Structure formats: C-alpha cells, structure tokens
Amino acid sequence: MAIFSVYAVNKSGGFIYQYDNYVHRAEAEKTFRYPLDCVLKIHDEKVVVSFGQRDGIRVGNALLSINGLDVNGKFTADGKEIIEYLKDSTNYPLSILFGRARLSSNEKLMPASMFHSLFAIGSQLSPEVGSTGIEMLETDMFKRHCFQTLTGIKLIVLTDPRQSGIDELLRKIYEIYSDFALKNPFYSLAMPISKSGKSKFLFYNDGETQTTLGQLCAAQWDSRSRPVVIQPGIESGSVVMPLALRCSSLDHCLRLLCHSGALMNLYMISICSTGIQCKYRFEKQNCTYFKNEHHYVMFSYLISLFNAIL
Amino acid sequence: MTVHNLYIFDRNGSCLHYGEWNRKKQAGISKEEEFKLMYGMLFSIRSFCSKMSPLDMKDGFLTFQTSKYKLHYYETATGIKIIMNTDLGVPNAKDILHQIYSTVSMGLYVEYIVKNPLCVLGEQLSSDLFSTRLDLYIRALPFFSPRAA
C-alpha cells in the first residue's frame, strides 16, 4: 500500500510541484559473456533494450550500471561510449544492471502537462452532459487520482490500486497548498513551488516569542507588541524593501509602512471571498484604494493601532 | 447503470465499428473527427501510463472515470481496441470486453472474412449480423438498463 507520487499542475498546464516516493523499482543484474545477447539501442539519451527479453530484463529497460558503476546517459562512468565498449570482447565478462529508467524532471514535466490536455479531451468526448475531466485513471499497477480545484489547479496523486481514502488525501493536500503556498506573500501564483520556499513568516514580539502568521491573526492585538517580519537572511528590525503584495483568492495581506525610519511590515489577514487576484500597497499618509468596506474597516483599525504603538 | 456507447478500432486507428445506446450529449464535432480524437487520446494515455508507471506493467491502462462516466478499454495482441463508455456503477468490464472480442467479434469476424471474399481488413465492419449480435449482447448485460432519453 503506497502513495507513489504527488504532483501539482497549474491551470495553464505547467508543472508546479512534484514529490516522488518510489518504493521499489524493478531491476535485474546479470553477468554477460561476449557476445551480448540483447539488442541495445539509444533512445532519448539512454541505452535501452530493444530485443532480447529474458530473466527479468524486459524490453524498454534501460542500462543502469556496468560492473557496479552508474552510467551517465550513453557513456560509462569513465566517459567511454557504451555501445562501443560492449562491442569490445576484451572487456568481458562484465555484469550489467538493467531496470526501469528513472525519469528526469524534464521527462516528468511532459507527461504531466500532457495529462492536462487529456483531462480536457475526456470532458469533451463525454456521452453525458456536465462531465468534468478525468478524475481517476486506473491500470493494473497504479491508480492516478486527479482533483481539480475551483481555480484550475490540478492535484495529482499516483497510488497503489488498492489504496483507499484518496479523496480525503486530495482535499488535505489542497488545504496544505492554500496554507503554505498561497498565503506566502513571496510566492508567485502559477510558479513552481520551491521545496525550501515553504518559508513561513515569523513574527517576533517583544518577549522574543515567535508566532506564525496564522497564530498572529488569531491572537489578540497587544498594543505593546511590535511585530517585525523576518524572512531568511534578514535580521529583525532591519530595513526591508517594500514588496509587491499578492492576494490569493482566499486571503488578503495588508502592509503598512510606518514613518519612524525603520520600516516595519505588518501582515494582516482577512478572509475575503471575491476570488480575484489583486495587488495592494498602502502608505500611511496616502491611503489608497480598497476593495470593499470590509477592508476599510480593517485598515482604519490598523492605523489607530499603530498610532498607539508608535 | 447503463452503457452509453462502444467503439472498436483497429491497429491503424480506423474505426471498425461504433454503437450507441444511451448517449445524452454529442461531442459537437463530426463522427470521423470524434473517432480520431478518441483514438488519439487513448494512444496518448497508453504511452503516458507506460512512462509514469512505477513498476513494469502487465496489462497496461484499463479504465478511466470522470464525474459522470467511465471509459473501459481493452486491447488485443493484434492491436484491436475495444472501448466502452458506461456510467459509474459498472465495476470492471474487462472480461465483458474480452467476450465481445472473442465471441462476438472474433467469431463473427472469422465468419465475415471467410464467407465474404470481397471484404477488406481495416475497413468499417458493415456486417448487419455483427451489429445485431453485438446489440443483443449489450442489451443482455446485467448492468444495462435503457433509460428514457
């Protein structure tokens, strides 16, 4: 029972995120004498078996290592061409490891984007009205579940065919995505999520207690606390260049620049259901545009609060 | 629980037979284009599954489902592909499709070739007997129930 991989694709078909957890790849190692009885050919910069399936070595398996040394594309670890090396009878006997080729990230990108189109075709060819795209694809070795969010992001999970509870898992992954990727103001929408970029924002209060963004919003405002934003590489209290803000469909972040010389960034979360992407930048003196009354109320509260602090 | 439609393709992608029982929505393109699109989509899905699969595959791609219908796929060693769209209640139609191939298609196929010296492989199967037999077989399936259109 296993989850093999998790992928996320944005609404234009680009790859955002991937996570692989392959438990076991079928590999077969054998000692060969001259001449080699499998026919090999070069395909996609790899040496694959095109004829000669036997003993666990199947057609399509790639040559992974010779004598224990991993090969590098179509060259051996020393830099010699594999096909030439194998034609030379003085190199025998040698042991060769064949197996399913591991996909490079480029190679994963292509099928993931292809799936995006197949998803749409599946909905077009539907014999029933109102069909969504392909939600679940089943083969004898794996099941592939796809969950499309309202904003067009596809979350794809590859699992064992007997694994259950995947709907729950997909919703949980969506929750995590919106918590860590969308609420991160440094994250550009529809761009790849960097693994280290789940950098959360930490706020230091006076008492050196750290709270995360979510906790700050939930906590009571303390007029004595001076929230300062920290991101990796920047010391607390230092001048931070104003950053463009992005609003996801779920959260809006307001930032307030104070006049005291040291720029302090304050992040305020308000839940809004407009579902439109927008940019906000607020100055203390020049109050700019608001989306609706709800934000104005929040912003006035902020102004009064900061007047009290500073 | 019902069967919507059924396609039979040969190895070159030409549609040998198409049967429809309960289809609510047309694809909005001509039948020929629809056949090509269906064949192309399945070809891509098959190659996609073989690339993505973490382990070596024995049978390959079996079914896919959307929120409204389920597509079952069966391919023989000679490249004949049988595709059936049903609704979501049908569990696994692989043996049914295999039966269609072996008893209905193969049985009649051989009869069709042997007894008709003029027919050509790869062209649309225009045998009336084949269509009737297939229709009867589908209607006799336990999960088939004709719904009011």
What are residue A253's DSSP bridge partners? A269
Whole-angstrom Cα distance, residue B52 to residue B46?
A: 10
Q: B-chain residues within 8 Å CB-CB of A4? A: 54
**String of DSSP letters for A64-123:** EEETTEEPBTTB-TTS-BHHHHHH-GGG-SEEEEEEPPPPPHHHHHHHHHHHHHHHHHHH
List the structure tokens of A93: 């006997």
Is the pLDDT at A8 greater than 70, yes or no? yes
Give the model's pLDDT for residue B111: 57
Whole-angstrom Cα distance, residue A117 to residue A11?
A: 11
Dump pLDDT digits (tens) for B114-128.
Answer: 566 665 666 666 677
Is the pLDDT at A232 greater than 50, yes or no? no
The stretch A105-124 carries a mean pLDDT of 73
Which band of pLDDT confidence, cut at 50, 70 and 90, is reported for residue B16?
confident
Which band of pLDDT confidence, cut at 50, 70 and 90, is reported for residue B87?
confident
Is the pLDDT at A303 greater than 70, yes or no? no
Cβ contact, residue pair B52, A111, below 8 Å? yes
Please state, rounded to an integer, the average pLDDT across all residues of chain A: 60
Q: B-chain residues within 8 Å CB-CB of A22? A: 54
Which band of pLDDT confidence, cut at 50, 70 and 90, is reported for residue A76?
confident
Structure-token match 């308000």, residue found = A270
Sign of the alpha-carbon dihedral angle for A257, A260, A264, A269: negative
List the structure tokens of A43: 């395909």
Return the SS3 of B7: strand
Q: A-chain residues within 8 Å CB-CB of B24? A: 127-129
Q: A-chain residues within 8 Å CB-CB of B4? A: 127-128
- The residue of A54, A117, A124, A141 whose CB has the most chain B CBs within 10 angstroms, and thus the best one to mutate to test that interface, is A141
Dump pLDDT digits (tens) for A148-202.
Answer: 888 888 888 888 888 778 888 888 888 877 777 777 777 777 677 665 433 332 2
Which band of pLDDT confidence, cut at 50, 70 and 90, is reported for residue B88?
confident
Is the pLDDT at B65 greater than 80, yes or no? yes
Most confidently predicted of A76-85, A95-104, A221-230, B19-28: B19-28
Return the SS3 of B87: coil
Give the model's pLDDT for residue A294: 38
Which band of pLDDT confidence, cut at 50, 70 and 90, is reported for residue A285?
very low
Is the pLDDT at A64 greater than 80, yes or no? no
Cβ contact, residue pair A127, B58, below 8 Å? no
Comparing A93-102, A135-144, B77-86, the range with the smallest average pLDDT is A93-102
Is the pLDDT at B100 greater than 80, yes or no? no
- Contact residues, chain B to chain A, C-beta under 8 Å: 4-5, 22-25, 27-28, 34, 37-38, 41, 44-45, 48-69, 71, 85, 87
Nearest CB among B56, B63, B69 relative to A127 is that of B69
What are residue A6's DSSP bridge partners? A19, A157
In chain A the beta strands, taken as DSSP E runs, fall at: 3-9, 15-20, 27-32, 39-43, 46-51, 62-66, 69-70, 94-99, 136-139, 143-148, 154-159, 202-204, 210-212, 228-230, 251-254, 268-271
User: Does the complex come out with an ipTM higher than 0.95?
Assistant: no
Give the model's pLDDT for residue A10: 81
A264 CA to chain B: closest CA distance, Å? Answer: 48
Give the model's pLDDT for residue A30: 75
Cβ contact, residue pair A124, B58, below 8 Å? no
Dump pLDDT digits (tens) for A20-44.
Answer: 766 556 677 777 777 777 777 777 7
Is the pLDDT at A280 greater than 70, yes or no? no
List the structure tokens of A277: 């992407």
List the structure tokens of A158: 């590859």
More confident call, B6 vs A75: B6
Whole-angstrom Cα distance, residue A220 to residue B17?
A: 70
What is the rounded (10 degree) CA torsion for B107, B112, B115, B120? -140
Is the pLDDT at B56 greater than 80, yes or no? no
Give the model's pLDDT for residue A269: 30
Q: A-chain residues within 8 Å CB-CB of B87? A: 128
Q: A-chain residues within 8 Å CB-CB of B51? A: 103, 107, 111
- Contact residues, chain A to chain B, C-beta under 8 Å: 4-5, 22-26, 58, 60, 100, 103, 107, 111, 114-115, 118, 121-142, 144, 158
Helix count (H) and strand count (E) of chain B?
A: 4, 5
- The residue of B34, B55, B83 whose CB has the most chain A CBs within 10 angstroms, and thus the best one to mutate to test that interface, is B55
More confident call, B34 vs A256: B34
Cβ contact, residue pair B57, A107, below 8 Å? no
B68 CA to chain A: closest CA distance, Å? Answer: 5
Is the pLDDT at A70 greater than 70, yes or no? yes
Give the model's pLDDT for residue A223: 33
More confident call, B133 vs B43: B43
Please state, rounded to an integer, the average pLDDT across all residues of chain B: 76
